[in-house]
Amino acid sequence: MNQAFIYDRTINFRDTDAAGVVYFANGLALCHEAYEASLAASGINLKSFFRGEAIASPITHASIDFFKPMFCGDRVAISLTATQLSAESFQIEYQLYFNGEEERQKAIAKALTKHTCIDTSTRKRCNLSEELLQWIKLTQ
Amino acid sequence: MNQAFIYDRTINFRDTDAAGVVYFANGLALCHEAYEASLAASGINLKSFFRGEAIASPITHASIDFFKPMFCGDRVAISLTATQLSAESFQIEYQLYFNGEEERQKAIAKALTKHTCIDTSTRKRCNLSEELLQWIKLTQ
Amino acid sequence: MNQAFIYDRTINFRDTDAAGVVYFANGLALCHEAYEASLAASGINLKSFFRGEAIASPITHASIDFFKPMFCGDRVAISLTATQLSAESFQIEYQLYFNGEEERQKAIAKALTKHTCIDTSTRKRCNLSEELLQWIKLTQ
Amino acid sequence: MNQAFIYDRTINFRDTDAAGVVYFANGLALCHEAYEASLAASGINLKSFFRGEAIASPITHASIDFFKPMFCGDRVAISLTATQLSAESFQIEYQLYFNGEEERQKAIAKALTKHTCIDTSTRKRCNLSEELLQWIKLTQ
């Protein structure tokens, strides 16, 4: 999946703010959409995954660096790589490019999210599920 | 509560879009915030109410009319009146004014939401809870 | 474009709320995305269109009726039809279906937005632009 | 202002996601609201400041660490401290607590945003305005 998987997204009006560009926190929301699309592409059911029916993997850290502004109508390509950090945690690194400019141009933004798996009944940390481990491999 | 209860809200940067004013769908989000504040003021626990632990009251219809644009930093006052429509449903009418201009000036916007109560275990319609009936009276 | 143009959208985690389904105001945001995609498909430049560089077409009315809940990961197809209301205004009607269920099943939701064209320098009403008139025809 | 200024915010339904807690990117949006409220408290006009009429101060970096989940209806207190980084840039550190628990309990979250001032006509970096320099002092 890794080389092939690119999340392709047109910037919507709702993503922008009165300065005319994407509202900064929405930059991270775009990355999360890429994460969702990547999970779905590996066969994970998004509805049960994100309702946290048995295990949840909430975000404990998120960061983003912006190099260029994004405007309504811009087409953005997002790639990601997931890495296991411990038995109970993983991180995802994201790169955003203007569509068609990958590798040739500077990124629009780079972002990172860290996730810890918890058992939703006890709220205690637990090991990554088998489907998450498989997805991590696919992104590498 | 009715005369006294006004939800006072400053327009945030995140509410706006690249046209420089509040993104239209956020106008309804502002109204929903006023509904939440009104429920809380009548003693309803928002966390359990909106998780729909026993009964949920999802929105089946929403509409809004805009008369003036709202900009970042504008202070807006929202009043609301709830009405029971049937044993299982109610509606809320909202009026938005620039803060301090109530009754003297034309509204910024007027909105309406309709809600139907459902039993979250069976997904069937059910009667309004006692706490909702009390809240409706308080808004009138 | 009309029969062919369908905006295909996967429901994202960010679209949902603590009740587990799409937050009501985001239902209208989905429709606006379909409007943007439809404008882009007819050749309109979204960045300048939505910055309102000469003419803006702000929403004066929006309404939505929900018939079924939408969950994270659901694939939704949105179709739309635009109609001119006067020299200075138009409306858009939207229908949302679960992907692949069009015409065979009941809609998830139906929505409506009304827009009035204004000259952004004078803030006065003005006639629809030629590109908007052409787009309206394409949607019919 | 520093000791006195606390942005007090009730978590809204729209801030949450299907996992039942605040959507991660909205944690940063809450911090930005605190920044806006702090600017307004120091006398800055938010409408012109965020439209970037002469100078804009876009976010070049944002990060957030979450220690506890936030639910709909939770009351959150946000404090912030701004620091000048160079002639053209500054950063803001944010701390989020459950209301009334400041200093006695562990924070809910800590966040950081970095901003670079630009001249909106040339898109080149420029010095911080006098009003921003004054605001930074007030937050310390």
- Per-residue pLDDT tens over the stretch A33-47: 999 999 999 999 999
Counting as contact any 3 or more CB pairs under 8 A, the partners of D are: A, B, C
The pLDDT score that the predictor gives to residue D1 is 43
Contacts of A86 (CB under 8 A, 6+ apart): none
Left if phi > 0, otherwise alpha if psi is -120 to 50, otherwise beta: which for D20?
Answer: left
Residue from the list B17, B25, B61 with its beta carbon closest to the beta carbon of C25: B25
Calculate how close chain C gets to D130, using CA atoms only, in Å: 29
- In this predicted structure, the answer to whether residue A138 has a pLDDT above a threshold of 80 is yes
D54 touches chain A (CB under 8 A): no
Cβ within 8 Å, pair D21-A58: yes
Cβ within 8 Å, pair B18-A16: yes
- In this predicted structure, the answer to whether residue C103 has a pLDDT above a threshold of 80 is no
The pLDDT score that the predictor gives to residue B3 is 55
The string of pLDDT tens digits covering residues B49-82 is 998 778 899 999 999 999 999 999 999 999 999 9
Answer for the pair D78, D95: CB distance below 8 angstroms, yes or no: yes
Confidence of residue C102 (pLDDT cuts 50, 70, 90): low
pTM reported for the whole predicted model: 0.95
Cβ within 8 Å, pair B14-A17: yes
DSSP string of chain C, one letter each residue: -TTT--EEEEPPGGGB-TTSSB-HHHHHHHHHHHHHHHHHHTT--HHHHHHTSSEE--EEEEEEEESS---TT-EEEEEEEEEEEETTEEEEEEEEEETT-TTTS--SEEEEEEEE-EETTT--B-PPPHHHHHHHHHH-
The string of pLDDT tens digits covering residues D16-32 is 999 999 999 999 999 99
Residue from the list D25, D58, D63 with its beta carbon closest to the beta carbon of A19: D58
Answer for the pair B5, B79: CB distance below 8 angstroms, yes or no: yes
The string of pLDDT tens digits covering residues A10-62 is 999 999 999 999 999 999 999 999 999 999 999 999 999 998 778 899 999 99
A67 touches chain C (CB under 8 A): no
Select the residue from D15, D26, D28 to test the A interface by mutation, using most A Cβ atoms within 10 A: D28
The pLDDT score that the predictor gives to residue A121 is 86
Answer for the pair B7, B37: CB distance below 8 angstroms, yes or no: yes
Answer for the pair D58, D114: CB distance below 8 angstroms, yes or no: no
Nearest to B18 by CA among A26, D112, D16, C43: A26
The string of pLDDT tens digits covering residues D78-124 is 999 999 999 999 999 999 999 876 666 789 999 999 999 999 888 89
Q: b or e along A68-85 (b: 16 or more beta carbons within 10 Å of the residue's beta carbon)?
A: ebbbbbbebbbbbebeee
- In this predicted structure, the answer to whether residue C4 has a pLDDT above a threshold of 70 is no
State the catalytic residues of B: 17
Select the residue from B10, B11, B13, B76 to test the D interface by mutation, using most D Cβ atoms within 10 A: B13
Answer for the pair A6, B3: CB distance below 8 angstroms, yes or no: no
- Tell me the two tokens of residue D30: 């809450």
DSSP designation for A56: E
Confidence of residue B1 (pLDDT cuts 50, 70, 90): very low
The pLDDT score that the predictor gives to residue D105 is 77
C-alpha distances in angstroms, C95 versus B114, B133, C20, C71, D11?
19, 33, 22, 17, 32
- What's the rounded mean pLDDT across residues C53-77? 95
State the catalytic residues of C: 17
C-alpha distances in angstroms, C67 versus B85, B115, C70, C97?
18, 12, 10, 10
Confidence of residue A3 (pLDDT cuts 50, 70, 90): low
Confidence of residue B134 (pLDDT cuts 50, 70, 90): very high
CA dist A9 and C111 (Å) reads 24
The percent of residues above 70 in pLDDT, for chain B, comes to 94
Mean of per-residue pLDDT scores for chain A: 93
Which of A3-17, A66-80, A102-116 is most confident? A66-80
In this predicted structure, which of A24-33, A80-89, B49-58, C88-97 has the lowest mean pLDDT?
B49-58
Q: Identify all chain A residues contacting C36, using CB atoms and an 8 Å cutoff.
A: 10, 12-13, 72-73
Torsion of CA B78, B83, B88, B89, to 10 degrees: -50
D29 touches chain A (CB under 8 A): yes
3-state secondary structure chain D: CCCCCCEEEECCHHHECCCCCECHHHHHHHHHHHHHHHHHHCCCCHHHHHHCCCEECCEEEEEEEECCCCCCCCEEEEEEEEEEEECCEEEEEEEEEECCCCCCCCCCEEEEEEEECEECCCCCECCCCHHHHHHHHHHC
C14 touches chain B (CB under 8 A): no
The pLDDT score that the predictor gives to residue C106 is 87
Residue from the list D14, D17, D20 with its beta carbon closest to the beta carbon of C13: D17
Cβ within 8 Å, pair D62-A25: yes
Cβ within 8 Å, pair D32-B12: yes
The pLDDT score that the predictor gives to residue C108 is 96
Q: Identify all chain C residues contacting D20, using CB atoms and an 8 Å cutoff.
A: 18
Nearest to B125 by CA among B86, B84, B88, B83: B88
Q: Identify all chain B residues contacting C27, using CB atoms and an 8 Å cutoff.
A: 62
Query: What are the beta bridge partners of residue C8?
Result: C77
Indicate the SS3 state at residue B71. coil
CA dist A18 and D53 (Å) reads 11
**In A1-140, which ranges are continuous DSSP H helix?**
24-41, 46-51, 130-139
The yes/no answer to whether this complex scores an ipTM above 0.90 is yes
D10 burial (CB, 10 Å; 0-12 / 13-18 / 19+) is middle
- In this predicted structure, the answer to whether residue C33 has a pLDDT above a threshold of 50 is yes
Chain D residue whose CA is closest to C18: D20
- Tell me the two tokens of residue A72: 């309504």
Mean of per-residue pLDDT scores for chain C: 93
Map out the domains of chain D with their CATH numbers: 5-139 (3.10.129.10)
- In this predicted structure, the answer to whether residue A105 has a pLDDT above a threshold of 80 is no
Answer for the pair A43, A125: CB distance below 8 angstroms, yes or no: no
